[in-house]
Structure 1
Amino acid sequence: MRGWFRLTVGLLAVVLGALWTVQGLGYVSGSLLTGRRVWTAVGPVVVLIGLVALWYGMRARRRRG
């Protein structure tokens, strides 16, 4: 069960981080985040956190079989 939770949270973080990054760069309009440079820094950090969570989730799933 833990592996699935980490995989889900990791995937969600990667998607949100990528979305925040492109919004910060101004490629996606219609949001309060659009064009704000802070999101170009926050987004990649969230993506990295998501990738780490995915990695730990994959390790937990492999150990269980």
Structure 2
Amino acid sequence: MRGLGIALLLVGLLWILQGAGLVGGSFMTGQRRWLLIGIVTAALGAAVLGRGMRRPGR
């Protein structure tokens, strides 16, 4: 679960940066839609990561 949370968080952060126009070279650059999708994805990743951190390792 931790790996999934980290992946979602990183992808969400990338989409936030692209949506905000800080990372170029993509159709997502400067698009508000991708900024919002990135925020939701990063928040989901943080929630998954937080839940994975609370559980003892399996």
Q: TM-score, normalised by structure 1?
A: 0.81
2:11 matches 1:16: yes
Instruction: Point out the structure with max Rg over C-alpha.
Output: 1
CA RMSD of aligned residues (A): 1.2
Runs of 4+ in 1 over 4 A off after TM superposition: none
Q: Deviation at 1:60?
A: 1.7
CA distances 1:25-63 after superposition (whole Å, capped 9, x unpaired)? 11111111111110111111111100110111111226x
Q: Which has the higher helix share?
A: 1
Find the partner of 2:46 among 34, 46, 51: 51
Q: Which structure 1 segments of 5+ residues have no match?
A: 1-5
Q: TM-score, normalised by structure 2?
A: 0.90
Find the partner of 1:31 among 26, 34, 39: 26
Identity, % of aligned positions = 38
